[in-house]
Amino acid sequence: MKEGRVMKIGIIGTGNMGRILAEALIDGNAVSPSSMTITNRTLAKALDIQKIYPSLAIGQNAIDVAENSDAIFICVKPHNMLELVEQIKPALSKDKCIISITSPISVEQLERKVDCSVIRIIPSITNRALAGVSLFTYGTRCSAEWKNALNALFKKVSVPVEIEENITRVASDIVSCGPAFFSHLVQSFISAAVKETEIDQETATVLASEMLIGLGELLSKNHYTLPTLQEKVCVKGGITGEGIKVLDSETGDMFEKIFQATHKKFEEELGKVQEQFGN
């Protein structure tokens, strides 16, 4: 990236996370639409985003985006990564940076394929609300300039946290998968309320949603920690305590099993990636 000019952002792949990334960076005033170029294998998905941000540019293909961007976010599935990197490699001059958002592919694997700076940034759906965490892992050749630039960029939409390779999966489970896990639990909570009482689905959903928003506010404003919050609500001998007893007995090792399952799948994906990258 040449010093003193606006950083040009490219996003290759505008599926769920690619789109969330584009919208968060623009709505968080991290970048202007006019400094961003996006593309997708099905261009209609990219064009849908351009309808919201008309000054955003559409690249006809991946190489088009790479040629016209300084920081190139690669938001494709792991099995498509190597082919895409090889495709855009001619456009990756040393002053550019590629950013992968997929956990099974390490920065070391990508560094062996390109000469530019490499960063892995694993976002969360919560970034769309300009909140939550983004997980950073830097390549060994990543310049200090790029580290500072991307960190500053993501501070506008999240809390950037640097992680080591060995905790990539569990950190991703908490930050990236966590919203889906807890959404599932809350939906089960709502369904049980409707089944066991006279409350209707709509009312229960509103109450649960607003409860979650309030819980987030309590934590974000440091009124309570998770343990102290439970202590404040759970009066000895009270109704909440009876519910906590059920949770203790019924959840058991449920969360351990979740991490076991995600790590097993992760190991399978790592094997496939290693076959592709030849290491």
| Domain spans in the chain, listed from the N-terminal domain onward | 9-163, 171-257
Identity (one letter) of the amino acid at 249? S
Strand-strand pairing, 117-122 and 133-138 = antiparallel
Query: Residue 20: which of 158, 137, 136 has the closest Cα?
Result: 158
- Yes or no: say if 149 and 1 are a contact pair by the CB < 8 Å rule: yes
Q: What is the DSSP letter of 106?
A: -
- End-to-end, the C-alpha distance of the chain in Å comes to 30
- Please tell me the distance from the alpha carbon of residue 161 to that of residue 142, in angstroms, as a whole number: 16
* Segments of the chain with pLDDT less than 50: none
What pLDDT, on a 0 to 100 scale, did the predictor assign at position 4? 55
When computed from its CA atoms, the radius of gyration of the chain, rounded to whole angstroms, is 21
- Please tell me the distance from the alpha carbon of residue 203 to that of residue 221, in angstroms, as a whole number: 27
Strand-strand pairing, 133-138 and 159-162 = parallel
Q: 3-state DSSP call for residue 243?
A: helix
What pLDDT, on a 0 to 100 scale, did the predictor assign at position 235? 73
The mean of the pLDDT values for the chain is 94
pLDDT tens-digit series, residues 196-249: 999 999 999 999 999 999 999 999 998 999 889 888 888 767 899 899 889 989
Q: Which fold has domain 171-257?
A: ProC C-terminal domain-like fold (1.10.3730)
Residue-wise DSSP of 178-242: HHHHHHHHHHHHHHHHHHHSS--HHHHHHHHHHHHHHHHHHHHTTS--HHHHHHHH--TTSHHHH
- Please tell me the distance from the alpha carbon of residue 275 to that of residue 202, in angstroms, as a whole number: 49
Reduced to 3 DSSP states, what percent helix, strand and coil does the chain have, rounded to the nearest 5? 60, 10, 30
What pLDDT, on a 0 to 100 scale, did the predictor assign at position 208? 97
State the Cα angle at 88 between 158 and 157, rounded to 5°: 10
Region class of 236: left (phi > 0), else alpha (psi between -120 and 50), else beta: beta
State the Cα angle at 165 between 22 and 253, rounded to 5°: 95
| Burial of 67 (C-beta count, 10 Å sphere; 0-12/13-18/19+) | middle
Indicate the CATH number for domain 9-163: 3.40.50.720
Q: What is the largest CA-CA distance in the chain?
A: 68
pLDDT tens-digit series, residues 88-101: 999 999 999 999 99
What pLDDT, on a 0 to 100 scale, did the predictor assign at position 16? 93
